[in-house]
Amino acid sequence: MTDFLLAAAGAILFTVAVGLVRILGGPGDADRMMAAQLIGTGGIGSLLLIAAATGARGVEDVALGLALLAAFASAAFVNSAAPAKDTDAVDGR
Amino acid sequence: MSLVDLFSIVAIGAGVFFFLAGTVGLLRFPDGLSRLHALTKADNLGLGLIVLGLLPRAESPLAAFKLVAIWALVQLAGATTAQLVGRAVRRKGTAA
Amino acid sequence: MSVLQALDIGLAFLVFAVAAWTIFARGGFAATVGYVVYGLLLSLVWIRLFAVDVALTEAAIGSGVTGVLLIGAAARLRGAETEADEKSLRGLPRLFIAGLCVLVALALAAVVLLFPDSGPSLAPQAMRHLPETGLGNPVTAVLIAYRAFDTMLEKAVLVLAVVGVWSLAADRYWGGAPGEARAERPEPTLAFLAQVLAPLGILVGIHIFWVGADEPGGAFQGGAILAAMWMIVMMARLTEAPRTSAFWLRLALVAGPLVFLIAGVGGAIFAGRFFAYPPGFAKPAILFIEAFMVLSIAVALPMLVAGPPRREPRADRSR
Amino acid sequence: MTSATLAGLVGAALVGLGLYGLIANPQPLRKILAFNVMGSGVFLVFGIVARKGAAAGLPSDPVPQAMVITGIVVAFAASALAVALVLRLFEETGRATLSPDAWTKPSGEGAEAE
């Protein structure tokens, strides 16, 4: 069972890594923020799996902290982006 | 193998599958908004199923509660990020 | 090779690859996002080293708060990049530097490989005296009891950093609030996030501080999470950053090191030695000090991220 | 190879990588990032000291752990100060570069680029 949990954690990390390769390179900054979001979720998932497999104590709190801060990078991104004049009126494409 | 283990394996396996599906979507979809759509699958279902699979293995009720709270928080973060990033994509038209 | 080893090797490669992306990426913004991802991966590595306290700190500060700081800076510096790009090193000097850096890395790697299998350790002493502190988490004991002086000075460093950031303000803004006054309406989604997240986050922050006495956690981690909650509320414009001349703000900033110092002097008077805690009274004293440290950290980190004052102090009075 | 040694080797590689970025990248913000990468590499090397010093029934020596925690907080404070300096430089002069040639032109204020 331990091996299964670890293998699942590894599989998630692997898929996340593949996704990172695709979107860390862009094309846009919004895509890069998706990379941060993806690794956030994948990281929490594999963190929980690794903790369950190795029996490290108190890891739920680490995951809880990560989950709390998961949206922070995006929030900072939106906050620092050029102020939008009419957010809802424009259709970018 | 006990029934609990089987349950964990099925749920976690399904969770990993959704992470995989989300990543494939990220790789294959042509524009920013649909990539965002793929990403949210990993957030919601992937992590949700993993938490579900880990629940019976939690050491204490508090730990189990924390697992659910983690999932709920990631839901919240995922939903807002999707909104915020999606709006940024639309605004800039970076969806090349 | 076991599954665990394979996982470790994969994680190691991933961390290295993302770090390399941070260094070599074209744009500053792309590199910064890479750094945020990197910080998150590092907390996974710390879990693998069974250093949960460090993982918690790395998750909260290394990834979360630093991410906000750097992404904000990268977004503002976006226009400044192109001209500086031209002056990057080329050719032989670049190769020379790369060679030297590889040499440094190899030397360090050799040191790592030559480490004795069971190095000298203060862990037995730390555990032996743990009951005297009344704590269950040896890391907290090291931070607040055994190496209290160190930790107090580190709090002083935080205060000094805030003073340093504030001192970068233009003269007319001195004492004003950081961040530009923005007229645009707040992003409703962000406001919703802040409204839901902040109460939960405050709960989690206090929880992490409180369990830090016995389990992984503590003042730094709890304070950093509280700081993050204040930051999200400010980012969503549910509240404005306070004037830097506000008395309560300055008091909260120095409260941590101040209470710590007073406790240290109190130890010199009542327990016979600087920073000694009276026997049987150690745990309440430690928790008392930690509570003020949490406050100071929760105030200092957002102020560091917010940057120097950028509004005239007078204009704020109208709010 | 144990996971601790592996983490230490990654730390060593990160120090080299960060050092290279610190020297070779011209932009100040990139230098700050590189410095942080280097710093976390040092922390990781320290982390394996903690893991190898595991004794008294602990999975990891608490003393290096506490020092790394202190280090992370101080590194953040230093980064924040550095970022504030870079942003101020940018605000004052409209560019963010440490290159000496950029300041030789008699363009007025902001000559104290450090």
Question: What does each of the 319 residues of chain C score in pLDDT, given as a tens digit?
Answer: 688 888 888 889 899 999 998 888 877 788 888 888 898 899 888 888 888 889 989 988 877 888 889 988 888 887 666 555 555 666 778 888 889 999 999 998 988 888 777 767 777 777 777 777 777 788 888 888 788 888 888 889 999 999 999 888 878 888 778 876 664 666 788 888 888 888 999 998 998 888 887 888 888 889 999 999 998 888 887 777 888 888 898 899 888 889 888 888 888 888 777 878 877 777 888 888 888 989 999 999 999 988 888 887 765 444 4
Q: What does the pLDDT read at residue B83?
A: 81
Decide if D104 is inside a domain.
Answer: no
What integer is the mean pLDDT of B78-86? 81
Chain Cα centroid distance, residue D18: 7
Q: Which two tokens stand for residue B3?
A: 């029934």
Q: Is cis: bond before A27, omega within 30 of 0? A: yes
List the one residue out of A21, C235, C76, A34 whose CA is nearest residue B88. A34
Q: Are residues C128 and C194 in the same domain?
A: yes
- The per-residue pLDDT for range A45-90, each reduced to its tens digit, is 989 898 888 877 778 888 888 888 888 888 887 777 654 433 333 3
Residue type, C24: F
d(CA D1, CA C258): 46
- C8 vs D3: CB contact, 8 Å cut-off? yes
For D73, the domain range is 3-96
CB within 8 Å: A61 and C231: no
Identify from C3, C133, C139, C152 which residue to disrupt to test chain D contact, counting D C-beta atoms within 10 A and taking the largest count: C139
CB-nearest to B80 from A23, A61, A71 is A71
Q: Where are the domains of chain A?
A: 2-72
Of the partner residues C57, C104, C151, the one whose CB lies closest to the CB of residue D15:
C104
C228 to A46: CB separation less than 8 angstroms, yes or no: no
Asked whether the beta carbons of residue B80 and residue C193 sit closer than 8 angstroms, the reply is yes
- Domain residues for the domain of C207 are 121-314
- CA distances to A49, A52, B9, C7, C52 from A3, rounded to whole Å, are 10, 11, 11, 10, 21
Cβ contact, residue pair B80, C200, below 8 Å: no
Structural domain boundaries in chain B: 3-92
3-state DSSP assignment of residue C178: strand
Integer Rg of chain A from CA: 17
C97 domain-assigned? no
What total of structural domains would you count in chain D? 1
- Touching partners of B (3+ C-beta pairs < 8 Å): A, C
Note whether C31 contacts D: Cβ–Cβ < 8 A: yes
The reply to whether C159 and C270 lie within a common domain is yes
Q: Are residues C154 and C298 in the same domain?
A: yes
Give the tokens for residue B69: 């709270």
Residue C160 lies in a domain: yes
pTM score, two decimals? 0.87
* Domain assignment present for D59: yes
Q: Which residues of C148-183 are buried (b: 16+ CB within 10 A; e: fewer)?
A: beebbbbbbbbbebbebbbebbeeebebbbbbeeee
Determine contact, residues C223/C206, Cβ cutoff 8 Å: no
The count of C-alpha atoms lying within 13 angstroms of the C-alpha of D68, restricted to the half-sphere facing its C-beta, is 33
**Tally of domains in chain C:** 2
Q: Which residues touch A78 (CB under 8 Å, ≥6 apart)?
A: B84, B85, B87, B88, C187, C190
Mapping DSSP to helix (H, G, I), strand (E, B) and coil, where does residue C195 land?
Answer: helix
Asked if residue D39 is part of any domain, the answer here is yes
ipTM of predicted complex: 0.87
Nearby residues of D114 by Cβ (< 8 Å), 6 or more positions away:
none
Q: Are A42 and A83 in contact (CB under 8 A)?
A: no
Measured distance CA(C109)–CA(D11) in Å, rounded: 8
Question: Nearest residue of D to residue C70 by CA position?
Answer: D83
Q: Is B94 on the interface with C (CB under 8 A)?
A: no
One domain for residues C127 and C232: yes
